[in-house]
Structure 1
Amino acid sequence: MASTPRAHTPQSTPFRWDGVEELVYKESDTTFRDVTRRVLAGAEAGQGVELRYFEVGPGGHSTLEHHEHTHVVVPVRGQGRALVGTEVVDLAPHDVVQVPAWTWHQFRAVGDEPFGFLCLVTCERDRPVRPDAEQLAQLRSIPEVADFLRV
């Protein structure tokens, strides 16, 4: 008999859920700074999606990347900024960010507290792709993007 996913996962402290392990953001990539992730609901829930919580420490940032799968991101803690395509946007709790397929994106914390966000993706997804030198130069040709990027 297959196991039934938990119907309720309480928070033991704010932004920490009982029985949910803090994971390394990425195993084989070093182009990020001070990012953790937690899988709140995954394939076992039978929805075909995975709900993850990412936390970016003060001064931290995610990897600059793109891929075929899409993201829906909802900030829930602190303040942040994001690059989505060639647009840099300020983020506050409960905003909604949609990252289309093959769109460059990167998230950064702003201020002295962690920036936490929920991220919804499909369970089946492709590997992220980092920019090559030509793509990075093209992104850096946009002054606001160049000021934002951390690579």
Structure 2
Amino acid sequence: MDNEQQPNFRPALEGFRWDGVAYQPYKQDGSAPFKDVSRQVLFHADGLGCELRYFEVGTGGYSTLERHQHAHAVMVLRGHGECLVGAEIRSVKPLDLVSIPSWTWHQFRASEHEPLGFLCMVNVARDRPQLPTEQEVTDLKALPGVARFLEKPEHKAHRSALSI
């Protein structure tokens, strides 16, 4: 998609959707563990080298635990939840900003009561995410707060996919 082909204005629709923007399942190939996540590419500009995406994590859902070379910036638009960035777990709410440095493990989780929706700005040209190895998960679990975050019931159900 080239930024010259995009309209200058896309009206917002009900339910955090936008006119003319495809609603897509997250990681359609099923190669990584996640639960109830969708994405919409809102803006793609080769000339600026960036892409703005809207992700929504359904109630009780979570994104993939992953890391990659490219950094990205996140702004929460709706809902509440938690995010893991490196060794830090934070509660997140609307208008919170999260910066994810290069090669940093990260994951977002929605609360049990509402979806978590956020904007994510990334480079147009970016590398594919890496999933943690068994040893990397063990190392992460050595950190007390991270262990609690990773031991939530949803993660236990996906142990085989994480190679834990």
* CA apart distance, 1:73: 0.3
Tell me what 1:75 maps to.
Answer: 76
* CA apart distance, 1:141: 1.1
Tell me what 1:100 maps to.
Answer: 101
* CA apart distance, 1:113: 1.2
Choose the corresponding residue for 2:40, options 35, 38, 49: 38
The equivalences for 1:8-27 within 5 A come to: 8-27=9-28
Tell me what 1:109 maps to.
Answer: 110
Percent identity, aligned pairs only, is: 49
Q: Name the count of aligned residue pairs.
A: 149
* CA apart distance, 1:127: 0.5
| Runs of 4+ that moved beyond 3 A | none
Tell me what 1:49 maps to.
Answer: 50
Q: Distance in 2 between matches of 1:128 and 1:118?
A: 18
Indicate if the aligned counterparts of 1:51 and 1:121 stay in contact, CA closer than 8 A.
yes
RMSD: 1.4
| TM-score normalised to structure 1 length | 0.93
Q: Distance in 2 between matches of 1:83 and 1:12?
A: 30
* CA apart distance, 1:31: 0.2
Tell me what 2:86 maps to.
Answer: 85
| TM-score normalised to structure 2 length | 0.86
Tell me what 1:148 maps to.
Answer: 149
* CA apart distance, 1:33: 0.2
